[in-house]
Structure 1
Amino acid sequence: MANLFSIFEPSSSIFSFSLNWVSTLLGLLFVPYMYWASPSRWSLLWTKITQTLHKEFSALLLPSHLGVSILFISLFSLIVFNNFLGLLPYVFTSSSHMVMTLSLSMPLWVTLMVSGWINHTQHMFAHLVPQGTPSVLMPFMVLIETISNVIRPGTLAVRLAANMIAGHLLLTLLGSTGPSLGSFFIISILVFSQMLLLTLESAVAIIQSYVFAVLSTLYTSEIN
Protein backbone atom coordinates (compact mmCIF):
# COMPACT_ATOMS: atom_id res chain seq x y z
CA MET A 1 0.00 0.00 0.00
CA ALA A 2 2.90 2.35 0.69
CA ASN A 3 4.24 1.85 -2.83
CA LEU A 4 0.74 2.25 -4.27
CA PHE A 5 0.15 5.67 -2.73
CA SER A 6 3.73 6.85 -3.21
CA ILE A 7 2.76 8.29 -6.61
CA PHE A 8 0.93 11.06 -4.74
CA GLU A 9 3.92 12.05 -2.59
CA PRO A 10 5.87 15.21 -3.46
CA SER A 11 9.22 14.16 -4.84
CA SER A 12 10.63 16.85 -7.17
CA SER A 13 12.81 19.39 -5.39
CA ILE A 14 15.66 21.85 -5.85
CA PHE A 15 17.76 22.72 -2.79
CA SER A 16 15.21 20.95 -0.56
CA PHE A 17 12.41 23.14 -1.97
CA SER A 18 9.49 21.04 -3.21
CA LEU A 19 8.52 21.84 -6.80
CA ASN A 20 5.44 19.66 -6.97
CA TRP A 21 3.07 22.35 -5.73
CA VAL A 22 4.28 24.67 -8.49
CA SER A 23 2.00 22.69 -10.81
CA THR A 24 -0.93 24.39 -9.07
CA LEU A 25 0.09 27.66 -10.72
CA LEU A 26 0.54 26.23 -14.21
CA GLY A 27 -3.06 27.07 -15.06
CA LEU A 28 -2.15 30.77 -14.87
CA LEU A 29 0.09 30.30 -17.91
CA PHE A 30 -2.96 29.61 -20.08
CA VAL A 31 -4.88 32.71 -19.00
CA PRO A 32 -2.83 35.89 -19.74
CA TYR A 33 -2.73 35.52 -23.53
CA MET A 34 -6.52 35.94 -23.61
CA TYR A 35 -6.03 39.60 -22.63
CA TRP A 36 -3.67 40.63 -25.41
CA ALA A 37 -4.05 38.08 -28.24
CA SER A 38 -6.92 38.02 -30.70
CA PRO A 39 -9.77 35.79 -29.51
CA SER A 40 -9.36 32.17 -30.51
CA ARG A 41 -11.91 29.39 -30.48
CA TRP A 42 -10.61 28.17 -27.12
CA SER A 43 -10.88 31.60 -25.51
CA LEU A 44 -14.38 32.08 -26.93
CA LEU A 45 -15.33 28.63 -25.63
CA TRP A 46 -14.03 29.47 -22.16
CA THR A 47 -15.89 32.79 -22.22
CA LYS A 48 -19.08 30.93 -23.10
CA ILE A 49 -18.47 28.47 -20.24
CA THR A 50 -17.96 31.28 -17.71
CA GLN A 51 -21.10 33.06 -18.89
CA THR A 52 -23.10 29.85 -18.51
CA LEU A 53 -21.66 29.31 -15.02
CA HIS A 54 -22.55 32.89 -14.09
CA LYS A 55 -26.18 32.25 -15.06
CA GLU A 56 -26.24 28.96 -13.13
CA PHE A 57 -24.73 30.43 -9.97
CA SER A 58 -26.84 33.60 -10.15
CA ALA A 59 -29.97 31.46 -10.16
CA LEU A 60 -28.84 29.83 -6.90
CA LEU A 61 -27.76 33.03 -5.16
CA LEU A 62 -29.96 35.67 -3.61
CA PRO A 63 -30.30 39.02 -5.46
CA SER A 64 -28.03 40.67 -2.87
CA HIS A 65 -25.28 38.11 -3.54
CA LEU A 66 -25.18 38.13 -7.35
CA GLY A 67 -21.73 39.72 -7.47
CA VAL A 68 -20.30 36.78 -5.51
CA SER A 69 -20.69 34.48 -8.54
CA ILE A 70 -17.28 35.63 -9.84
CA LEU A 71 -15.72 34.02 -6.75
CA PHE A 72 -17.24 30.62 -7.51
CA ILE A 73 -16.40 30.88 -11.22
CA SER A 74 -12.76 31.49 -10.22
CA LEU A 75 -12.95 28.56 -7.80
CA PHE A 76 -14.29 26.31 -10.57
CA SER A 77 -11.55 27.50 -12.95
CA LEU A 78 -8.77 26.79 -10.46
CA ILE A 79 -10.00 23.29 -9.66
CA VAL A 80 -10.73 22.26 -13.26
CA PHE A 81 -7.30 23.49 -14.44
CA ASN A 82 -5.53 21.50 -11.73
CA ASN A 83 -7.65 18.41 -12.35
CA PHE A 84 -6.80 18.39 -16.05
CA LEU A 85 -3.13 19.17 -15.47
CA GLY A 86 -3.00 16.20 -13.10
CA LEU A 87 -3.97 13.91 -15.99
CA LEU A 88 -0.77 14.80 -17.85
CA PRO A 89 2.25 12.52 -17.31
CA TYR A 90 4.72 13.57 -14.60
CA VAL A 91 2.53 16.47 -13.43
CA PHE A 92 1.78 16.59 -9.70
CA THR A 93 -1.97 16.35 -8.99
CA SER A 94 -2.42 18.94 -6.26
CA SER A 95 -6.23 18.61 -6.21
CA SER A 96 -5.89 15.02 -4.95
CA HIS A 97 -4.37 16.22 -1.66
CA MET A 98 -6.36 17.27 1.37
CA VAL A 99 -3.90 20.10 1.94
CA MET A 100 -5.22 21.91 -1.11
CA THR A 101 -8.87 20.88 -0.96
CA LEU A 102 -9.18 21.85 2.70
CA SER A 103 -7.40 25.13 1.94
CA LEU A 104 -10.19 25.87 -0.53
CA SER A 105 -13.18 24.72 1.51
CA MET A 106 -12.25 25.66 5.08
CA PRO A 107 -11.67 29.45 4.63
CA LEU A 108 -14.84 29.70 2.54
CA TRP A 109 -16.92 27.88 5.17
CA VAL A 110 -15.46 29.85 8.07
CA THR A 111 -16.15 33.14 6.26
CA LEU A 112 -19.75 32.14 5.58
CA MET A 113 -20.31 31.03 9.18
CA VAL A 114 -18.81 34.19 10.69
CA SER A 115 -20.80 36.41 8.32
CA GLY A 116 -24.02 34.49 8.91
CA TRP A 117 -23.82 34.39 12.71
CA ILE A 118 -22.85 38.06 12.99
CA ASN A 119 -25.24 39.58 10.45
CA HIS A 120 -28.13 37.06 10.46
CA THR A 121 -28.03 35.45 13.89
CA GLN A 122 -31.79 34.85 14.16
CA HIS A 123 -31.93 33.23 10.73
CA MET A 124 -28.97 30.96 11.55
CA PHE A 125 -30.71 29.78 14.72
CA ALA A 126 -33.95 29.23 12.80
CA HIS A 127 -32.07 27.25 10.16
CA LEU A 128 -31.13 24.65 12.79
CA VAL A 129 -34.78 23.57 13.08
CA PRO A 130 -36.55 22.86 9.75
CA GLN A 131 -40.07 24.20 9.44
CA GLY A 132 -42.77 21.80 10.64
CA THR A 133 -40.51 19.78 12.96
CA PRO A 134 -42.42 18.31 15.96
CA SER A 135 -41.42 19.70 19.35
CA VAL A 136 -40.21 16.29 20.52
CA LEU A 137 -37.73 16.01 17.67
CA MET A 138 -36.39 19.57 17.87
CA PRO A 139 -33.33 18.75 20.08
CA PHE A 140 -32.34 15.92 17.76
CA MET A 141 -32.81 18.09 14.65
CA VAL A 142 -30.62 20.81 16.17
CA LEU A 143 -27.91 18.23 16.82
CA ILE A 144 -28.19 16.72 13.34
CA GLU A 145 -28.21 20.12 11.59
CA THR A 146 -25.22 21.28 13.65
CA ILE A 147 -23.20 18.18 12.78
CA SER A 148 -24.12 18.41 9.08
CA ASN A 149 -23.09 22.06 9.09
CA VAL A 150 -19.76 21.44 10.83
CA ILE A 151 -18.69 18.63 8.49
CA ARG A 152 -19.42 20.59 5.31
CA PRO A 153 -15.84 21.72 4.62
CA GLY A 154 -14.61 18.19 5.27
CA THR A 155 -17.12 16.64 2.88
CA LEU A 156 -16.22 19.16 0.18
CA ALA A 157 -12.51 18.45 0.58
CA VAL A 158 -12.81 14.65 0.86
CA ARG A 159 -15.19 14.39 -2.12
CA LEU A 160 -12.80 16.19 -4.45
CA ALA A 161 -9.62 14.49 -3.22
CA ALA A 162 -11.12 10.99 -3.08
CA ASN A 163 -12.53 11.14 -6.60
CA MET A 164 -9.23 12.33 -8.05
CA ILE A 165 -7.20 9.74 -6.12
CA ALA A 166 -9.51 6.87 -7.11
CA GLY A 167 -9.19 7.49 -10.83
CA HIS A 168 -5.43 8.01 -10.72
CA LEU A 169 -4.93 4.85 -8.68
CA LEU A 170 -6.94 2.82 -11.17
CA LEU A 171 -4.95 4.22 -14.09
CA THR A 172 -1.70 3.48 -12.25
CA LEU A 173 -2.69 -0.08 -11.37
CA LEU A 174 -3.71 -0.90 -14.93
CA GLY A 175 -0.62 0.77 -16.37
CA SER A 176 1.74 -1.13 -14.06
CA THR A 177 0.42 -4.47 -15.33
CA GLY A 178 1.41 -3.72 -18.93
CA PRO A 179 5.09 -4.86 -18.79
CA SER A 180 4.09 -8.23 -17.32
CA LEU A 181 1.68 -9.04 -20.17
CA GLY A 182 3.04 -11.04 -23.07
CA SER A 183 0.08 -11.17 -25.43
CA PHE A 184 -0.33 -8.35 -27.95
CA PHE A 185 -4.10 -8.80 -27.88
CA ILE A 186 -4.28 -8.36 -24.10
CA ILE A 187 -2.01 -5.30 -24.28
CA SER A 188 -4.30 -3.80 -26.92
CA ILE A 189 -7.29 -4.32 -24.65
CA LEU A 190 -5.35 -2.73 -21.79
CA VAL A 191 -4.47 0.33 -23.88
CA PHE A 192 -8.09 0.69 -25.00
CA SER A 193 -9.33 0.43 -21.40
CA GLN A 194 -6.79 3.05 -20.36
CA MET A 195 -8.12 5.40 -23.04
CA LEU A 196 -11.66 4.87 -21.79
CA LEU A 197 -10.58 5.50 -18.20
CA LEU A 198 -8.76 8.66 -19.25
CA THR A 199 -11.94 9.89 -20.93
CA LEU A 200 -13.88 9.08 -17.76
CA GLU A 201 -11.32 10.91 -15.64
CA SER A 202 -11.64 13.96 -17.88
CA ALA A 203 -15.38 13.95 -17.22
CA VAL A 204 -14.78 13.47 -13.48
CA ALA A 205 -12.38 16.44 -13.49
CA ILE A 206 -15.13 18.70 -14.83
CA ILE A 207 -17.95 17.24 -12.74
CA GLN A 208 -16.06 17.44 -9.44
CA SER A 209 -15.08 21.06 -10.12
CA TYR A 210 -18.71 21.91 -10.87
CA VAL A 211 -19.99 20.06 -7.79
CA PHE A 212 -17.49 21.85 -5.53
CA ALA A 213 -18.49 25.27 -6.90
CA VAL A 214 -22.25 24.56 -6.85
CA LEU A 215 -22.23 23.27 -3.27
CA SER A 216 -20.23 26.31 -2.18
CA THR A 217 -22.84 28.50 -3.89
CA LEU A 218 -25.68 26.69 -2.11
CA TYR A 219 -23.95 27.12 1.25
CA THR A 220 -23.65 30.85 0.53
CA SER A 221 -27.35 31.17 -0.29
CA GLU A 222 -28.30 29.62 3.07
CA ILE A 223 -26.79 32.33 5.26
CA ASN A 224 -29.44 34.92 4.34
Structure 2
Amino acid sequence: MMTNLFSVFDPASSIFNFSFNWLSTFLGLCMIPSMFWFMPSRYNIIWNNILLTLHKEFKTLIGPSGHMGSSFIFISLFSMILFNNFLGLFPYIFTSTSHLTFTLALAMPLWFSFMIFGWINNTQHMFAHLVPQGTPAVLMPFMVCIETISNIIRPGTLAVRLAANMIAGHLLLSLLGNTGPSLSYIMVMFLIVAQIALLVLESAVAIIQSYVFAVLSTLYSSEVN
Protein backbone atom coordinates (compact mmCIF):
# COMPACT_ATOMS: atom_id res chain seq x y z
CA MET A 1 0.00 0.00 0.00
CA MET A 2 1.48 3.29 -1.13
CA THR A 3 1.59 6.13 1.40
CA ASN A 4 2.63 9.73 1.27
CA LEU A 5 6.33 10.40 1.91
CA PHE A 6 5.38 12.89 4.63
CA SER A 7 2.95 10.51 6.34
CA VAL A 8 5.64 9.50 8.85
CA PHE A 9 5.32 12.97 10.37
CA ASP A 10 1.53 12.86 10.68
CA PRO A 11 -0.17 12.23 14.02
CA ALA A 12 -1.16 8.55 14.13
CA SER A 13 -1.88 7.62 17.76
CA SER A 14 -5.32 8.83 18.78
CA ILE A 15 -8.14 7.99 21.18
CA PHE A 16 -11.66 9.38 20.60
CA ASN A 17 -10.29 11.25 17.55
CA PHE A 18 -7.90 13.23 19.76
CA SER A 19 -4.28 12.99 18.66
CA PHE A 20 -1.97 12.17 21.56
CA ASN A 21 1.10 13.04 19.50
CA TRP A 22 0.43 16.74 20.00
CA LEU A 23 0.88 16.22 23.75
CA SER A 24 4.64 16.15 23.06
CA THR A 25 4.39 19.95 22.91
CA PHE A 26 3.95 20.00 26.68
CA LEU A 27 6.95 17.76 27.45
CA GLY A 28 9.10 20.87 27.69
CA LEU A 29 7.21 21.80 30.86
CA CYS A 30 8.79 18.80 32.58
CA MET A 31 12.22 20.44 32.28
CA ILE A 32 11.21 23.80 33.77
CA PRO A 33 10.05 23.19 37.39
CA SER A 34 13.41 21.86 38.60
CA MET A 35 15.05 25.26 38.26
CA PHE A 36 12.41 26.81 40.52
CA TRP A 37 12.44 24.22 43.32
CA PHE A 38 16.06 23.07 43.53
CA MET A 39 19.24 24.97 44.28
CA PRO A 40 20.80 26.70 41.26
CA SER A 41 22.61 24.21 39.06
CA ARG A 42 24.88 24.66 36.06
CA TYR A 43 21.88 24.07 33.82
CA ASN A 44 20.02 26.85 35.62
CA ILE A 45 22.94 29.28 35.41
CA ILE A 46 23.50 28.61 31.69
CA TRP A 47 19.80 28.99 30.89
CA ASN A 48 19.57 32.25 32.90
CA ASN A 49 22.59 33.66 31.03
CA ILE A 50 20.96 32.77 27.72
CA LEU A 51 17.71 34.46 28.73
CA LEU A 52 19.51 37.59 29.94
CA THR A 53 21.43 37.83 26.66
CA LEU A 54 18.23 37.43 24.66
CA HIS A 55 16.47 40.02 26.84
CA LYS A 56 19.19 42.61 26.16
CA GLU A 57 19.17 41.91 22.42
CA PHE A 58 15.38 41.95 22.07
CA LYS A 59 15.19 45.13 24.14
CA THR A 60 17.65 46.76 21.73
CA LEU A 61 15.66 45.60 18.69
CA ILE A 62 12.34 46.84 20.12
CA GLY A 63 13.84 50.25 20.85
CA PRO A 64 13.07 52.87 23.49
CA SER A 65 9.52 53.38 22.17
CA GLY A 66 8.54 49.79 22.98
CA HIS A 67 6.49 48.82 26.00
CA MET A 68 8.21 47.67 29.17
CA GLY A 69 8.44 43.89 29.45
CA SER A 70 7.45 43.19 25.85
CA SER A 71 10.77 41.40 25.28
CA PHE A 72 9.64 38.63 27.66
CA ILE A 73 6.93 37.65 25.17
CA PHE A 74 9.57 36.87 22.56
CA ILE A 75 11.83 35.14 25.09
CA SER A 76 8.93 32.83 25.97
CA LEU A 77 8.29 32.27 22.26
CA PHE A 78 11.96 31.40 21.72
CA SER A 79 11.95 28.98 24.67
CA MET A 80 8.78 27.22 23.52
CA ILE A 81 10.00 26.70 19.95
CA LEU A 82 13.46 25.65 21.15
CA PHE A 83 12.04 22.99 23.50
CA ASN A 84 9.80 21.58 20.77
CA ASN A 85 12.58 21.58 18.18
CA PHE A 86 14.90 19.64 20.47
CA LEU A 87 12.23 17.22 21.63
CA GLY A 88 11.60 16.34 17.99
CA LEU A 89 15.17 15.03 17.72
CA PHE A 90 14.43 12.22 20.18
CA PRO A 91 13.08 8.93 18.79
CA TYR A 92 9.32 8.38 18.85
CA ILE A 93 8.54 11.96 19.91
CA PHE A 94 6.25 13.90 17.60
CA THR A 95 7.79 17.12 16.17
CA SER A 96 5.00 19.68 16.43
CA THR A 97 7.08 22.53 14.95
CA SER A 98 7.32 20.68 11.62
CA HIS A 99 3.58 21.21 11.03
CA LEU A 100 2.03 24.41 9.71
CA THR A 101 -0.84 23.93 12.15
CA PHE A 102 1.52 24.74 15.01
CA THR A 103 3.70 27.38 13.34
CA LEU A 104 0.77 29.31 11.87
CA ALA A 105 -0.92 29.24 15.28
CA LEU A 106 2.14 31.09 16.62
CA ALA A 107 2.71 33.49 13.71
CA MET A 108 -0.85 34.58 12.87
CA PRO A 109 -1.93 35.89 16.32
CA LEU A 110 1.35 37.77 16.71
CA TRP A 111 1.02 39.41 13.29
CA PHE A 112 -2.66 40.27 13.80
CA SER A 113 -1.95 41.83 17.20
CA PHE A 114 0.91 43.91 15.76
CA MET A 115 -1.26 45.12 12.87
CA ILE A 116 -4.26 45.96 15.04
CA PHE A 117 -2.08 47.81 17.57
CA GLY A 118 -0.21 49.70 14.84
CA TRP A 119 -3.21 50.77 12.79
CA ILE A 120 -5.21 51.88 15.85
CA ASN A 121 -2.48 53.71 17.79
CA ASN A 122 0.02 54.74 15.07
CA THR A 123 -2.09 55.10 11.93
CA GLN A 124 0.01 57.87 10.39
CA HIS A 125 3.22 55.92 11.00
CA MET A 126 1.74 52.79 9.39
CA PHE A 127 0.70 54.75 6.29
CA ALA A 128 4.15 56.34 6.10
CA HIS A 129 5.75 52.92 6.38
CA LEU A 130 4.08 51.84 3.13
CA VAL A 131 6.22 54.33 1.16
CA PRO A 132 9.97 54.24 1.93
CA GLN A 133 11.69 57.59 2.30
CA GLY A 134 13.09 58.99 -0.96
CA THR A 135 10.74 57.05 -3.24
CA PRO A 136 9.94 58.96 -6.50
CA ALA A 137 6.32 60.03 -6.93
CA VAL A 138 5.93 57.83 -10.02
CA LEU A 139 6.85 54.67 -8.10
CA MET A 140 4.75 55.39 -5.01
CA PRO A 141 1.65 53.36 -6.09
CA PHE A 142 3.85 50.37 -6.92
CA MET A 143 5.75 50.64 -3.63
CA VAL A 144 2.45 50.71 -1.70
CA CYS A 145 1.37 47.48 -3.44
CA ILE A 146 4.75 45.81 -2.85
CA GLU A 147 4.93 46.85 0.82
CA THR A 148 1.32 45.76 1.42
CA ILE A 149 1.93 42.31 -0.11
CA SER A 150 5.21 41.86 1.79
CA ASN A 151 3.40 42.81 5.00
CA ILE A 152 0.53 40.38 4.41
CA ILE A 153 2.76 37.37 3.68
CA ARG A 154 4.87 37.84 6.81
CA PRO A 155 3.03 35.32 9.02
CA GLY A 156 3.13 32.79 6.17
CA THR A 157 6.88 33.21 5.68
CA LEU A 158 7.48 32.89 9.43
CA ALA A 159 5.44 29.70 9.64
CA VAL A 160 6.74 28.08 6.44
CA ARG A 161 10.38 28.88 7.26
CA LEU A 162 10.21 27.13 10.63
CA ALA A 163 8.15 24.14 9.45
CA ALA A 164 10.17 23.59 6.25
CA ASN A 165 13.54 23.74 8.01
CA MET A 166 12.42 21.32 10.71
CA ILE A 167 10.76 18.79 8.40
CA ALA A 168 13.60 18.85 5.85
CA GLY A 169 16.23 17.53 8.28
CA HIS A 170 13.86 14.98 9.81
CA LEU A 171 12.88 13.74 6.35
CA LEU A 172 16.53 13.32 5.36
CA LEU A 173 17.27 11.43 8.59
CA SER A 174 14.27 9.15 7.98
CA LEU A 175 15.21 8.44 4.37
CA LEU A 176 18.83 7.60 5.27
CA GLY A 177 17.73 5.48 8.22
CA ASN A 178 15.37 3.40 6.06
CA THR A 179 18.23 2.42 3.74
CA GLY A 180 20.18 0.81 6.61
CA PRO A 181 18.85 -2.79 6.36
CA SER A 182 19.80 -3.07 2.69
CA LEU A 183 23.42 -1.93 3.12
CA SER A 184 26.60 -3.81 3.94
CA TYR A 185 28.36 -3.51 7.29
CA ILE A 186 30.94 -1.05 5.95
CA MET A 187 28.27 1.17 4.41
CA VAL A 188 26.26 1.01 7.64
CA MET A 189 29.26 2.43 9.51
CA PHE A 190 29.42 5.34 7.07
CA LEU A 191 25.65 5.73 7.41
CA ILE A 192 25.90 5.97 11.21
CA VAL A 193 28.60 8.65 10.92
CA ALA A 194 26.44 10.56 8.43
CA GLN A 195 23.42 10.25 10.71
CA ILE A 196 25.40 11.60 13.69
CA ALA A 197 26.65 14.52 11.58
CA LEU A 198 23.09 15.27 10.44
CA LEU A 199 21.86 15.06 14.03
CA VAL A 200 24.44 17.64 15.09
CA LEU A 201 23.38 19.83 12.17
CA GLU A 202 19.72 19.45 13.15
CA SER A 203 20.59 20.50 16.71
CA ALA A 204 22.13 23.70 15.33
CA VAL A 205 19.10 24.23 13.06
CA ALA A 206 16.79 23.81 16.08
CA ILE A 207 18.56 26.66 17.88
CA ILE A 208 18.92 28.90 14.83
CA GLN A 209 15.30 28.57 13.65
CA SER A 210 13.86 29.33 17.08
CA TYR A 211 16.15 32.37 17.31
CA VAL A 212 15.22 33.54 13.80
CA PHE A 213 11.48 33.21 14.53
CA ALA A 214 11.80 35.22 17.75
CA VAL A 215 14.04 37.92 16.22
CA LEU A 216 11.81 38.44 13.18
CA SER A 217 8.76 38.67 15.43
CA THR A 218 10.60 41.29 17.49
CA LEU A 219 11.49 43.29 14.37
CA TYR A 220 7.89 43.18 13.16
CA SER A 221 6.70 44.48 16.52
CA SER A 222 9.26 47.30 16.50
CA GLU A 223 7.92 48.56 13.16
CA VAL A 224 4.47 49.35 14.55
CA ASN A 225 5.75 51.55 17.40
The TM-score bracket by the shorter chain reads over 0.9
Structure 2 counterpart of 1:206: 207
Identity of aligned residues (%): 70
SS in 1 for 2:70: helix
Q: CA deviation at 1:177?
A: 0.2
* Residue among 160, 163, 179 paired with 1:158: 160
Q: What amino acid is the match of 2:71?
A: S
- The within-5 A match list for 1:20-59 is 20-59=21-60
1:49-128 pair list within 5 angstroms = 49-65=50-66, 66-128=68-130
Of 132, 137, 140, 2:139 maps to 137
Q: Per-residue deviation at 1:184?
A: 1.4
Question: Which residue of the partner structure matches residue 196 of structure 1?
Answer: 197
1:64 is paired with a residue whose SS is: coil
Residues in 2 aligned to 1:16 and 1:133: alpha-carbon distance in whole angstroms:
55
TM-score by length of 2: 0.97
Distance in 2, Cα, partners of 1:140 & 1:38: 59
4+ residue segments displaced more than 3 Å: none
SS at match of 2:69: helix
Q: Which runs of 5+ in 1 are unaligned?
A: none
Report the number of matched residues: 223
RMSD: 1.0
Deviations 1:161-214 (A, max 9, x none): 000010000000000000011x21111000000000000000000000000000
